[in-house]
Amino acid sequence: MTEPPADILFCLHFLGGSARTWEPLARELGGTARVVAIDLPGFGAAADVAGYSVDAMADHVARAIAAEAPARFRIAGHSMGAKVALLLARRAQDGDAGLAGLSGLVLVSGSPPSPEPIPDDRRAHMLSWIDADAKTRAREARAFVRANVGGDLPPDLEERAVADVLRAEPSAWKAWLQGGANEDLARRIGVLRLPALVFAGSEDADLGPDAQAALTLPHLPHGRLTVIDGVGHLLPLERPADLARLLAAPPPAGDRSAPQPPAVPPAYAELIASKRVNSRLREALAERATAPDPAYEPEVLDPVELAILRAVFHRIVPVPGLDLAAKLDARLAEGGGDGWRFAKLPEDGAAYRAALRTLDAAARAAHRRPFVALDGNGQDALLTLAQKGDLKVPEALGGRVDADGMRFWFEDARADAVRLYIAHPAALARIGFSGIGAGGDAPTPIAGNLPGFHATGLDSPEPWEPRAEEIAR
């Protein structure tokens, strides 16, 4: 019996790295996977190759993949390489024949589709020395490597990492810091249906667990985040054995699917199915009761904004299995609404986008963490400030809506969340609403009676109305 072919893993390195970054992982994987490491334009053996935008780097990698012509493969992207990997995954999902065999992603301390959350002073310092004299460059390159690890690298790996930084083409280094890292591809990359393993070091200051949860996972509904304690930004060099073990391990046991939507009690389901409910309403209720699509692709919001809205709506209506945020985005895309808005706010879609970004900026300003990474108490505290009109975020910190505007927006958001929840048949059953049985499709009487209500006194339910105890079962 012949052995099945080893898994092919195309590996893309970090800023200042090279194909050599992946050699420790390749050794640890042994024969369980064939590592094909690629030097990105301007780095490693491709230092003289031009084309430094994310698209140009993706083109370069796509050609390398085509040369191998694999039937099935994964792409691993580390830091800068992760953004390139995500763009390639988007192309594959859009039908690029040369990437048809892509079966999954491995993202390590990844640069997200959104602009990287790197402080301006750190970016400025990284730009300041790349064109300096040889002595300064050597000193700063070593400092750069050491600042990006959680502990000490083995001396040989540190020397190799420093050498890789020094042989990088300065124009490629600057192009990433001034261009690629700041490219906002969130809408373009959208939501990817591929399985993905996402790794982050607990000591990674900029692209650690919070950044991955807030900026990368919203694009990967089938992604799983693993945090490696004590590791900085350079996991493939710091802990290649751990990374190999995690890549080789089977998926964790247990059902990782999205929670099921609230169940409609049988007695209420019988009412919905009866002739007292017209077919148009019955179809609408059936659509509202369907399980949400975890890979819903937003149309008005981008995936990061949708993740923030999901967190907000969960604080308002904490019911598992309902994706009220996706329903709102779909309604906004259709132009639906309640027909009015606060004069202080723009149209609903723009108001939601701006307010959600302001809320996230407020979380970063107050806690140095994105809104989705805060616990329930932290999120509630910020939403309470918004409700009171006290959420003030300077524009320089990302504030797009002032305190008064946030108060108006949150009033609308609460109303939208409750309206969408109450529209679900399980919610209608919970409040005992039987008005859906006021009439059917036929104008003729049902069982000798006109459809609708006849007993209008207090505590005088119709014989056909589900009893509270039946709904509660």
| pLDDT tens-place string over residues 7-66 | 899 999 999 999 999 999 999 998 788 999 999 999 999 999 999 999 999 999 999 999
* Structure tokens belonging to residue 226: 């693993």
Range in 185-189, 295-299, 454-458 with the lowest mean pLDDT: 454-458
Model confidence at 340, pLDDT cuts 50, 70, 90, reads confident
> Where do the H-state alpha helices sit in 274-402?
279-288, 303-316, 324-333, 348-367, 376-388
Quote the pLDDT of residue 363: 96
Tell me the pLDDT band of 195, cut-offs 50, 70 and 90: very high
Residue 461: predicted pLDDT:
80
Predicted pLDDT of residue 31 = 79
Which among 411, 218, 382, 374 has a CA at the least distance from the CA of 306? Answer: 218
Q: Once rounded to an integer, what is the mean pLDDT over residues 430-438?
A: 87
Lowest-confidence range among 10-24, 133-147, 449-463?
449-463
For residue 443, the model assigns a pLDDT of 61
Residues 6+ apart with CB under 8 A from 98: 62, 65, 66
Tens digit of pLDDT for each residue in 160-177?
999 999 999 999 999 999
Half-sphere exposure of 328 (CA within 13 A, CB side): 30
CA-based nearest residue to 107, from 43, 186, 24, 199: 199
For residue 399, what pLDDT band results from cuts at 50, 70 and 90?
confident
Half-sphere exposure of 27 (CA within 13 A, CB side): 9
Better pLDDT: 44 or 454: 44
pTM given for the model: 0.92
**Cα–Cα distance between 421 and 209 in angstroms, integer?**
31
The helix (run of H) or strand (run of E) holding residue 198 is strand 196-201
How high is the pLDDT of residue 254? 43
pLDDT band of 445, cuts 50, 70, 90: low
Does the structure show a pLDDT above 50 at 1? Answer: no
pLDDT band at 2 (very low <50, low <70, confident <90, very high): very low
Tell me how far CA of residue 243 lies from CA of 107, 151, 170, 228, 422, in angstroms.
Answer: 11, 16, 30, 9, 46
3-state SS class at 429:
helix
In the chain, how long is the greatest CA-to-CA distance? 97
User: Is pLDDT above 60 for 416?
Assistant: yes
Per-residue model confidence (pLDDT) at position 258: 67
What is the per-residue pLDDT for 276? 87
DSSP state, residue 251: P
Q: What percent of the chain has pLDDT over 70?
A: 93
Average pLDDT over residues 364-393: 96
Lowest mean pLDDT among 115-124, 358-367, 461-470: 461-470
C-alpha neighbours within 13 Å on the C-beta side of residue 4: 6
Question: Worst-scoring range by mean pLDDT, 2-6, 291-295, 316-320, 383-387?
Answer: 2-6
Helix 403-422 with 303-316: angle, nearest 10 deg: 70
Ramachandran angles phi, psi of 276, nearest 5°: -75, -10
Look at 87-101, 195-209, 265-279 and tell me which has the smallest mean pLDDT: 265-279
351, two tokens: 């108001």
